[in-house]
Amino acid sequence: MRSTLPLKVLAIALTLGASPIQAGGPEQLDQLEPARGEWQAEYYGQFGSSETEGRHHSLELFYGLSERFSLGVEVAGEREDGRMEFDEASLIGLMQFSDAEDDPLGTGLMISAGIDSGGRISELEARFISEKITERWWAQANIMLRRVDEEDVRGEMLAYGWSLSRSLSKTFWLGLEGSGQAARLGGFEQGFKAAHFAGPSVTIQVEAGEGREIEIGLAYFRRLHHEGSRDTARLFLQFGL
């Protein structure tokens, strides 16, 4: 149900791009894909209502080296003043412990490291992923331990993401999604503010031939407190190569 491309080779267990601490936006949900020998590409974009929040964009490419392990890369940035500005490139590794469809609960661990334009490691992340897919229901949850080391923002934090969707047809899922940055674990003398988002989501899955699938996800998020941008839209595209 995910798209994996050679871009996810850059993101081996860390999330890159505009730091959610600075962008103050919803978190990206990661899934337990791809399978062995498969390439998967993914685009993730946020479209906010202010100049400083909700403008995060990333492109990922993953390859399944085995049934349990995938490598990926990610390039992420933020749109400012009508143009894209590069933030980070990441290397990502995903270890799957169990399958989301065949086992009672799919689980995995993703670890990633982000490198900024100066060649410095600007972000490290360990992400625990759980996922369950049935004919009618699709549940996902991510818990992230993240360390940020940027010029003006340094520290460790706990972030999360979740979604619950109901299948209305073979290709259409309707659901709810929430995410945010929940707690400061250390550092962040300045720049950290807890942020929580929730809203409806729609996912469309289209067969593209030769066993390939295109997944399109749309969501609308409302910030659950009054500080910062209130509304953020998200577009998610995933496809096999």
CA–CA distance, 78 with 150 (Å, rounded to integer): 15
Q: Is the pLDDT of residue 92 over 60?
A: yes
User: Residue 12 falls within a domain, yes or no?
Assistant: no
Domains contained in the chain, number: 1
The pLDDT assigned to 227 comes to 62
The pLDDT assigned to 229 comes to 57
The pLDDT of 58-72, averaged and rounded, is 95
Q: What share of the chain is helix, strand, coil (3-state, %, to 5)?
A: 0, 65, 35
pLDDT category at 9 given cuts 50, 70, 90 is very low
User: Residue 13 falls within a domain, yes or no?
Assistant: no
Burial 51-80 (b: 16+ CB within 10 A, else e): eebbbbbbbbbbbbeeebebbbbbbbbbbe
pLDDT category at 61 given cuts 50, 70, 90 is very high
211 beta partners: none
User: Residue 97 falls within a domain, yes or no?
Assistant: yes
| Cβ proximity of 199 and 220 under 8 Å | yes
Q: Domain residues for 235?
A: 20-240
User: Residue 5 falls within a domain, yes or no?
Assistant: no
One-letter amino acid identity for 208? A
The pLDDT assigned to 24 comes to 62
User: Residue 85 falls within a domain, yes or no?
Assistant: yes
Q: Is the dihedral of CA 197, 198, 200, 206 positive or negative?
A: positive
pLDDT digits (tens, 9 = 90+) for 200-238: 999 999 988 777 889 999 999 998 876 655 788 999 999
CA–CA distance, 190 with 153 (Å, rounded to integer): 7
- Tokens 């929730």 belong to 198
User: Residue 78 falls within a domain, yes or no?
Assistant: yes
Domain harbouring 213, CATH code: 2.40.160.40
pLDDT digits (tens, 9 = 90+) for 108-138: 999 999 998 888 999 999 999 999 999 999 9
Angle at CA 58, nearest 5°, toward 57 and 63?
Answer: 165
Q: Is the pLDDT of residue 158 over 90?
A: yes
CA–CA distance, 123 with 170 (Å, rounded to integer): 38
User: Residue 7 falls within a domain, yes or no?
Assistant: no
- Tokens 């509304």 belong to 231
In 3D, which of 146, 145, 159, 30 has the Cα closest to residue 96?
30
Q: Is the pLDDT of residue 19 over 70?
A: no
The pLDDT of 145-149, averaged and rounded, is 92
User: Residue 37 falls within a domain, yes or no?
Assistant: yes
* 3 state SS of 33: coil
Q: Which residue has the higher pLDDT, 181 or 22?
A: 181
